[in-house]
Amino acid sequence: MTRDEHLAILAFLDRLLAAAETDPDVEAETIVRAYFKRHPEIAYHLTRFAMGGRFALPPAPHQGWLRGLLARCPFGTRKNTLRL
């Protein structure tokens, strides 16, 4: 890794934190933290993806894809806890 790459990662993370408009949803944050604890390497992959790395997700079929995912979420019956 070059020094420029190192600085680019830090700048990206700083911009991301500065752009956060609201406090995290407690339920969503709990899910994310638990997943990161089980798979710590995901932080690297997620950052690389968000910065435009070569990982690609399939396109969402429509705007309601996240709502559908949350509806099937096994972590509780409360739906739409994330601001969509």
Q: Over the Cα atoms of the chain, what is R_g?
A: 15
pLDDT of residue 2: 86
Output the pLDDT for position 22: 85
pTM value > 0.75: no
Question: What is the block-wise mean pLDDT of the chain (84 residues), using blocks of 10 residues?
Answer: 88 90 90 95 90 62 58 54 47
Give the pair of three-digit tokens for residue 39.
């798979």
Q: Measured between alpha carbons, how far is residue 10 from residues 15, 16, 39, 56, 72 in Å? A: 9, 10, 21, 22, 35
Say if CB 64 and CB 80 are below 8 A apart.
no
Which of 45, 65, 42, 66 has the alpha carbon at shortest distance from 54? 45
pLDDT for 84 equals 43
User: What pLDDT was estimated at residue 29?
Assistant: 93
pLDDT at 79: 46
Q: What pLDDT sits at residue 23?
A: 87
